[in-house]
Amino acid sequence: MTEKVYLENPYLMKLNAKIVENKFKNNKFYVILNRTIFYPNMSGGQLGDKGSIDGIEVLDVYEKNDDIIHVLSDLPKNEIVELCINWDIRFQNMQQHTGQHIVSNAFSKLLDFETISFHMTKDFNYIDMKANFLNQNIIDKIESYSNRIVFSNFEIYCYISNHKNLSKIPLRGTPKKEKDIRIVEINNLDFCACGGTHHRRTGEVGLIKLINWYKIKENYRVEFVCGVKALEDYNFKNNIITKLKNDLSININETLESINKIKSELEDYKKSNTILKSKLIDYKTIWLKNNSIKYKNIKIISDAIDEFDLNETRKIINNISCYNNYVMIIGINQNNKSQFIIAKSSNLNIDIKNIFDKLLYSINGNGGGNENIYQGGCNEPNKAQSIVTTGLNLIKEEINR
């Protein structure tokens, strides 16, 4: 069994240990030491430590049968090795995990909501809770209470208790094992069975910020960040607000009001644009019909356009194909792509698929359709006119058959 020194002293950054076992598989070495300061990854929802053993990077750390397995790309030459952990990562992980105890305690004390699970990710943490409801007012109260605990700088104690003594401890949650239970206590305010790394005082957690909450099945999930991650979150969001303030030339207190005004104006523009587009589609339909060419009693429409996208062009073609004796080839230049639609009135017995296939081959494109309408294109820009010209000649050849 590996001695877990990180539980006794989570502030220890270096330690000498002895290799007691190593295995080689999948081009990696799996090393067991007599003792370690490396916290195993995702044990109790906490991220693992990073660092090195005799200068060799530790790729992963996990727990198996009371042993801590260290995964290395190479095997140290000496039996006695030096362990070094990345202190910045350890400190941040302690901030997040200790912060979780504080937040879970706040939900338990104020609302009697039980924390079901805790999970730490690279960017944020979350707890899942048995809760009847949540709203922003509750979230604000929980956040305020949690930060009061932080700012009070209470002492944190970690100690082992056996199952017999548990009845004397007002434990939050039920332990998963029955003996040698490690208790993390926050100054007689919170007691929780936990095997994670924690600070000695709540002040080291830094600011606690609840950043999101939502319902998952019958429970609620609350996302939060602490300390260094809370500062990073603040900086990121503050930079966004500052940029918006500068771009909009407004006072920072007016940012939300200005954005809501812009959203309202945008909705109005969208409505107006939809009406105008509809009128333009009707106008373009009439214009194309009036400018069609008559070839052997068949009306051919050919045009390359930039002002309509593919869906809008299909509306125009659908408007025209309701009439008899029309064949259409429309090219579209948009988003550095060249697209086209070829279609015919349902009363005509013309094989437009044959034309479509030849056009696709000529531009090395792709597409599909049915007997009355096909659409295709390629990733080359500004080829719409040449596609239309080629398509017009192919339509005439098909009519002459």
User: pLDDT tens digits, residue range 46-88?
Assistant: 999 999 999 999 999 999 998 999 999 999 999 999 999 999 9
User: pLDDT tens digits, residue range 1-55?
Assistant: 999 999 999 999 999 999 999 999 999 999 999 999 999 999 989 999 999 999 9
Q: Which residue has the higher pLDDT, 326 or 165?
A: 326
Number of Cβ within 10 Å of residue 368's Cβ equals 10
Q: In the predicted model, is pLDDT for residue 176 greater than 90?
A: no
Q: In the predicted model, is pLDDT for residue 179 greater than 80?
A: no
Rounded to two decimals, the pTM is: 0.77
Q: In the predicted model, is pLDDT for residue 187 greater than 90?
A: yes
Interval 182-188 mean pLDDT:
96
Rounded Cα–Cα distance for residues 267 and 273 (Å)? 10
Q: CB of 171 within 8 A of CB of 190? A: no
User: pLDDT tens digits, residue range 225-281?
Assistant: 999 999 999 999 999 999 999 998 988 888 889 999 999 999 999 999 989 999 999
Q: In the predicted model, is pLDDT for residue 387 greater than 80?
A: yes
Interval 109-132 mean pLDDT:
95
Pairing of strands 35-36, 3-4: parallel
Pairing of strands 14-25, 366-369: unpaired
Interval 110-123 mean pLDDT:
96
Q: What pLDDT, on the 0 to 100 scale, is given for residue 60?
A: 97
Q: In the predicted model, is pLDDT for residue 318 greater than 80?
A: yes
